[in-house]
């Protein structure tokens, strides 16, 4: 199997991804620093595979119920808090 070249539309910049996700570029950098979003560096610039971002987005939404809506995520346990009486 050969390696296929990605077209320019298949790779996103920070600005393009922040517009796509409708978040500030600083949020993208924070997600990268925390290892919570897939990206790769080209020199000093970050780039994002559109396909990898689409997979990541679907993972963030979680499973879809029969009505086409995202199922409610499981409840999280509070860290470091004492239970209420």
Where residue 4 falls among pLDDT bands split at 50, 70, 90? Answer: low
Residue 71 has a pLDDT of 59
Each residue of 8-57: pLDDT tens digit? Answer: 679 999 999 999 999 999 999 999 999 999 999 999 999 999 999 999 99
Edge-to-edge strand order for the sheet containing 45-49?
Answer: 11-12, 45-49, 40-42
- 3-state SS assignment for residue 55: helix
Higher pLDDT, 52 or 82: 52
**Helix ranges restricted to H, the chain:** 14-21, 25-33, 50-61
Q: Is 58 left (phi over 0), alpha (psi -120 to 50) or beta?
A: alpha
Find how far residue 56's CA is from the centre of its chain.
5
CATH assignment of 8-61, among 3.40.1130, 1.10.3430, 1.10.357, 1.10.10: 1.10.10
Residue 28 has a pLDDT of 97
Specify the DSSP element, H or E, that contains 53. helix 50-61
pLDDT beyond 70 at 66? no
Q: Encoding tokens for residue 32?
A: 């990268």
Residue 1 has a pLDDT of 57
Residue 62 has a pLDDT of 76
């Amino acid at each position: 199997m050969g390696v296929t070249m990605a077209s320019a539309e298949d790779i996103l910049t920070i600005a393009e991804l922040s517009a796509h996700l409708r978040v500030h570029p600083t949020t993208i950098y924070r997600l990268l620093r925390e290892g919570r979003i897939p990206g790769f560096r080209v020199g000093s610039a970050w780039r994002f595979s559109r396909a990898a971002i689409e997979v990541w987005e679907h993972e963030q939404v979680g499973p879809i119920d029969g009505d086409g809506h995202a199922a409610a995520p499981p409840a999280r346990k509070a860290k470091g808090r004492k239970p209420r009486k």
